Amino acid sequence: MNNAALAVTIRQLRTEYNRDRFTQVCHDYVHTCGLPVEESHDRSWNDCYDFLVKYLPTEDKYQNFHLIFEFLMPESLKRADVILLTHNKVVSLEFKEKYRVKKDDLAQAAGYGQSISHYHYLTGEKNMKVLHYLVYTPGDPKGNHDFVDILCPENFTQTIKDILDSEVPMSDEQCEDWIESPFQPLKNMADATLQLFRDGDLPNIKSIREGEIQKTLDRINNVIADQNISKSIIFVSGVPGAGKTLVGLKTVYDHGRPGEEWNPVYLSGNDPLVNILQNTLSTNHVDLEGSSYIQEMKVFKGKYGSSNATTPHNDIIVFDEAQRAWDTDRREPDQTEATILLRIGDRIAREHGKVTIVCLIGDGQAIHVHEETGMYIWASALAGRNDWNVYIPERYDDLFNSSPCCNPLPELMLDTSIRNDFIDVSPWVEAIIDLDFDKAKNLYQEMLRKGFKCWYCRDRFKLPKIVEFVNENYPGSHTGIVVSSHGRATPFGERYKGSYVKAKEAYNWYVNEGPHLTRGASEFLIQGIELEYPIVTFVGDYYIQNGKWVLDPKATFNAAIQDREKIIKNVYRVLLTRSRKGMFLYFPHDPKLDETFQWFANMLQI
């Protein structure tokens, strides 16, 4: 087997393996995987074997259930200690030879359960129930027992009996099929885009294929296919990490017609995101070259926006982060990006007969000058226009009440975050911004129960060690400093502007430079993409003082920004919602940040 060291029934473990043989099999497997094997690992396998032989049920009816050892979790090269299988259940048992409950152990066990539940193909197809436990072999440990179910000698045997009662064992063949089943963790945005444009499909995850994202795509495709509608504009909203960009890219891919005159286009005002996606496709020599289908909004607008410009041959236009549409245009101060895009759509419809615009909306993420008006720009541009069929999430019904042909649809709101292993961090971030300590603490504890971990530190010399930790434990993961562009301090003491990583440098920073910690990514670079383990850095532009958030009067802002408090809140919304697996928080040793650090440290304690 490629994905596990050993699969045996409970009976076989007792009758065919002694401790030495069992430990050697596990040792050899891990070594074959190219992973380090130390003496401590052998001691742990010895301890695990002794515990199971002693405490697994001895009654005959339990003896044919399968145990899987060292099941490989492909997205991290971590290994689940023991998996107990039935026809309907997957039980993950993570063994600890410890006397105290640790936060990392809780998140590890919960994370394994979360990953198997969402990403293991056969588990999803069979709708198997996934359970996860921490097993403390010396006895009932000290510490908080509220986050993950904890087993020890006192309750292990009875708990296993309760799990297996009324269950049916798998056959050897079925067990092997489960072990070798595809394990398909959700890719980061760049890799997911590459997979989409190279292979033609989204990640093969049941909750994506059959869930909200597919329903949203079906609704968009129905509108595109309706030849009785000349001009349509569709707004898709959702929580951070819900997959809005995937929806947009999938729409562009599905309706692409290479070599033909008319084709869709994906637009974004986020130039760094465009740079990363274009380079990802072009560097990997995908047939649909990145620049053909993915373009900067400002370039598209500059080429086609004026009333006497040529008509783009794009009958489907996807505008990502449309909530950031500018409320003015340099060449036409009386126009907004919304009115300009509609004007382009009018010309396409006259020439081609049909146009569909898909606007992807992330609320609370306007971070730049001219972006503060938000969705009102679109409602104003469409007011009184009965030539445009408008499709909106139900939450925007009142805002668009002046649009004659408005259609509120529930499928256009994506409520489930898929970014953090289906853990939605946005309510937690909102509680932080509101300084609701109790709510933030409770939400963090709930995320911890699902496997999300957040670390914090003040020592800058620990930052390279964070990178080492990520590289060693989660190979292939992205990390790096993410920081507000409005601060005047740096993680290392001298003046620092995270935004000096320019848009054209985004791909190189994302792929190569980030882990070196030489420069950080500002909200402009990081918005729209994500890192598995970002180092979110507080640099004193926004900090807690006397129980309230305070905006540093020396923070640097564009003079045209009208509501600095709103913008800075959105900046930290962006920074704190970019993680895919976990997050590091760094507070430099600045007295101004002492209260901020203490608030977070207390909130993150379990």
Decide the pairing of beta strands 533-537 and 582-586. parallel
Q: Are residues 402 and 456 in the same domain?
A: no
pLDDT over 90 (residue 587): yes
Residue 316: predicted pLDDT: 95
Q: Are residues 141 and 273 in the same domain?
A: no
Domain presence at residue 163: yes
Domain presence at residue 419: no
Give the 3-state secondary structure of residue 189: helix
In Å, the largest CA–CA distance within the chain is 84
Of 414, 446, 474, which closes a domain?
A: 414
Residue 328: predicted pLDDT: 62
Q: Are residues 330 and 445 in the same domain?
A: no
Domain presence at residue 420: no
Q: Give the Cα separation of 129 and 451 in Å (integer).
A: 17
> Strand ranges (DSSP E) for 493-602?
533-537, 542-545, 548-551, 582-586
Of 158, 180, 202, which closes a domain?
A: 180
| Domain boundaries, position 116 | 6-180
Domain presence at residue 1: no
Whether this prediction's pTM lies above 0.85 is answered by no
Q: Are residues 90 and 111 in the same domain?
A: yes
Residue-wise pLDDT tens digits, 217-267: 999 999 999 999 999 999 999 887 778 888 888 898 888 877 788 889 999
Residue 371: predicted pLDDT: 39
Domain presence at residue 421: no
Q: Are residues 463 and 380 in the same domain?
A: no
Cα–Cα distances in Å, from 577 out to 96, 98, 240, 451?
Answer: 32, 33, 7, 16
Q: Are residues 473 and 589 in the same domain?
A: yes
Q: Are residues 207 and 132 in the same domain?
A: no
Residue 368: predicted pLDDT: 44
Q: Are residues 203 and 108 in the same domain?
A: no
Residue 420: predicted pLDDT: 64
- Among residues 286, 276, 224, 222, which one has the least CA distance to residue 245? 276
The alpha-helical segments, DSSP class H, found in 169-243 are 172-180, 189-199, 206-209, 212-225
Residue-wise pLDDT tens digits, 372-418: 356 888 999 999 999 999 999 998 898 898 988 999 999 999 887 77
Amino acid at 83: I
Residue-wise pLDDT tens digits, 173-217: 999 999 998 877 666 667 777 777 776 666 655 556 556 888 999
Per the structure, the count of domains in the chain is 3
Q: Categorize the per-residue pLDDT at 495 as very low, low, confident or very high, splitting at 50, 70 and 90.
A: very low
Q: Categorize the per-residue pLDDT at 442 as very low, low, confident or very high, splitting at 50, 70 and 90.
A: very high
Residue 385: predicted pLDDT: 93
Of 386, 414, 442, which closes a domain?
A: 414
Helix, strand, coil share (%) of the chain residues, nearest 5 = 45, 20, 40
Q: Are residues 211 and 345 in the same domain?
A: yes
Segment (H or E) for 248: helix 244-254
Is the Cβ–Cβ distance between 106 and 146 less than 8 Å? no
Q: How many CB atoms lie within 10 A of CB 334?
A: 7
Residue 566: predicted pLDDT: 86
Q: Are residues 272 and 315 in the same domain?
A: yes
Q: Are residues 228 and 156 in the same domain?
A: no
Give the residue, 2 or 304, on which the prediction is more confident: 304
CATH of the domain at 545: 3.40.50
Residue-wise pLDDT tens digits, 447-468: 888 878 899 999 888 999 999 9
Is the Cβ–Cβ distance between 123 and 80 less than 8 Å? no
Q: Are residues 71 and 217 in the same domain?
A: no
User: What is the rounded average pLDDT for all residues in the chain?
Assistant: 85
Residue-wise pLDDT tens digits, 264-317: 999 988 787 888 888 887 776 665 555 678 888 888 988 998 888 899 999 999
